[in-house]
Amino acid sequence: MGFLSEVSKLTRSEIDKFCLDHGIDPSFETEVLGDRTANQCSKGVLVFYTCLDQPNLRYPFTNFFLEVLKYYQLSLGQFAPVGVACIMHFEILCRALRYEPSLLMFRRFFRLARNGDWYTIEKTQCEAALLFTNVGHTYAWKKQFFFISNRLLPYTLVPRKFSEGLNEKEPEVHELELGLLLSPQPSCFLYKLWAYPEELLVVLGISQD
């Protein structure tokens, strides 16, 4: 697992500032890694990559984001930023169009995939692409992480093993609420995966800032 053997260079002050800036309560204990790697994450803690705020992920996490994590049995440190971006942009799109995001609808458009040492999200073959992916993350994000108490997630998670299968069959159309599929046309949903203004995320209920 190549990049998971990288050592994070974040200092205590940098970790504390990140948590303060992102509303993460100090009661969630964090750890300076020293010479430990992401592979050496001990029981009871999560790996948290600081780049995850760039794909519009905010804390407290939305119920939809947590539902997707729980369904795929993935911890935060197992998702590449582009995968997080796809989840959050799907939710933003749904809420902007006044639809409640659902796991069934998400799985109609997207499926889990592997990306090196991490997991990501890619489009299915069922529908036209909802999002045009153009994310400019660089290698540097893989060295910017820290450990934090797994109490950050409101449920106990057993992380998915890399050898496990990826996806169940996509939901059939008759299982879905058809509004998002039929109006407007899918070609209207082509978006780059960029960071949206904080004010928009607040209006849509993604951010509480």
Q: Can you give the pLDDT at residue 182?
A: 57
Asked whether residue 16 is assigned to any structural domain, the reply reads: yes
> Predicted confidence band at 172 (pLDDT cuts at 50, 70, 90)?
confident
The identity of residue 202, as a single letter, is V
Asked whether residue 208 is assigned to any structural domain, the reply reads: no
Domain total in the chain: 1
The pTM is what? 0.86
**What percentage of the chain reaches a pLDDT higher than 90?**
33
Q: Can you give the pLDDT at residue 186?
A: 46
pLDDT tens digits along 108-130 = 889 999 988 889 998 888 766 66
Which residues span the domain enclosing 178? Answer: 2-203
Asked whether residue 158 is assigned to any structural domain, the reply reads: yes
Query: In 31-133, which ranges are continuous DSSP H helix?
Result: 63-72, 81-96, 103-109
Token pair of 169 as six digits: 């069959």
- Phi and psi at residue 95, in whole multiples of 5°? -70, -35
Asked whether residue 209 is assigned to any structural domain, the reply reads: no
